[in-house]
Amino acid sequence: MERVGEYERVMRWRAAHTEGGAYAASRALGLPRGRIRPWFDGAKPHAQRAIETAARHGWLDAEPGSRAFEGLVVLHAWLLASGSIASETFVPSCVIGTDDPEGLLRAAFDAAGVPSRIVSGESDGRTAERRPSGSGGSHLGRFLAGVLGAPVGSKVGVSPAAVQWLESAPRSTRIRWSQTYTVRRGRSLEAGPDGFAVRLGGRCDAAYREAVLAVFGSVVDDAELTATADAVLLGPKAARCLRRVPTLPPQSADWDESPPSGNDQPSEPFAG
């Protein structure tokens, strides 16, 4: 965000010195002329454009329970479960399996105000992904990373802070995040029809596992949860709550942020 601060200083100086140019601003502010010259021609730092995009789409003012915020929550959970934010471009990509609720993912991008498209992996054998299309994709990735803590690049050793912010979120938001993570990463155990395992993406450490376990345990009975080296095991009741595809709130309505239970969430069973 250092560049954003410099950009704002330059713009304030320019507003107060309408006849001055990049050379004068450079000398007055002690900034390299080569860095600020493009700003006098209309260019902006990437982070500044990301802030403006976030404001334009309402991300900065979005409240938990609103369609825009909950769409961002679904994208955050999907990225942690099976997606990534490119380290060079900050464009988010969400992997889509054959049994995944792709409609939910598409609706989440739409709720965030960012058009998206499926990139098929049939030609090279890779799994299909949904990514932003057009402008705004990198700004969405920067917001998901900078504000909601989604990891950028490799997900090896993901920080528990990536999910700890959910501790202060409304219960409905935590349910929606947990259900999204579960329907994307969850798989039935061979031991029996009631057993269910939610695999954790990447090589995660104990702190991250405990953080995910804490989110799940805040919406279901934590006695039904067991953490292993690479998964969270769900008991029958927890599985019935979390193995459901969440929905997003209406575009404009007074949304009940505290539904009685996960089973009362408007959703459909997970057919995985």
Alpha-carbon distance values, 186 to 125, 169, 239, 270 (Å): 23, 23, 9, 10
Q: Among the listed ranges 34-38, 67-71, 190-194, 232-236, which one has the minimum average pLDDT value?
A: 190-194
Q: Which residue has the higher pLDDT, 104 or 191?
A: 104
CATH of the domain at 74: 3.10.28.10
Tens-digit pLDDT profile for residues 110-143: 999 999 999 976 555 678 999 999 777 888 998 8
Q: Is the pLDDT of residue 267 over 50?
A: no
**Which structural domain range is residue 55 located in?**
50-153
Residues pairing with 94 in the sheet: 83, 130
pLDDT of residue 8: 77
d(CA 76, CA 86) in angstroms, rounded, equals 14
- In 3D space, the residue among 68, 65, 54, 219 whose CA is nearest the CA of residue 147 turns out to be 54
Indicate if 54 and 133 belong to the same structural domain.
Answer: yes
pLDDT of residue 46: 66
Which is it for strands 92-95 and 129-132: parallel, antiparallel or unpaired?
Answer: antiparallel
Alpha-carbon distance values, 76 to 40, 70, 93, 163 (Å): 36, 10, 11, 9
Number of residues written out for the chain = 272
Residue 269 lies in a domain: no
Express as a percent the part of the chain with pLDDT over 90.
38
Q: Is the pLDDT of residue 263 over 80?
A: no
- How confident is the prediction for the chain on average, in pLDDT? 82
Indicate if 13 and 79 belong to the same structural domain.
Answer: no
Q: Which residue has the higher pLDDT, 264 or 244?
A: 244
Q: How would DSSP label each residue in 204-248? A: --HHHHHHHHHHHHTTS-GGGEEE-SSEEEE-HHHHHHHSEE--P
Indicate if 137 and 198 belong to the same structural domain.
Answer: no
pTM comes to: 0.75
CATH of the domain at 209: 1.10.10
Tens-digit pLDDT profile for residues 46-90: 666 666 666 666 677 788 899 999 999 999 999 999 999 999 999
pLDDT of residue 260: 31
Indicate if 102 and 22 belong to the same structural domain.
Answer: no
Express as a percent the part of the chain with pLDDT over 70.
81
Residue 215 lies in a domain: yes
Residue 253 lies in a domain: no
Q: Is the pLDDT of residue 103 over 90?
A: yes
Q: Is the pLDDT of residue 243 over 60?
A: yes
Tens-digit pLDDT profile for residues 149-196: 899 988 777 889 999 999 999 999 999 999 999 999 888 776 555 568
Indicate if 39 and 58 belong to the same structural domain.
Answer: no
What mean pLDDT is predicted for residues 234-252? 89
Domains held by the chain: number: 3
Q: DSSP H helical segments within 19-134, as ranges? A: 22-29, 33-40, 46-57, 67-82, 102-111
Indicate if 170 and 147 belong to the same structural domain.
Answer: no
Indicate if 136 and 172 belong to the same structural domain.
Answer: no
Residue at a domain's end among 153, 169, 194: 153
pLDDT of residue 230: 82
Indicate if 148 and 177 belong to the same structural domain.
Answer: no
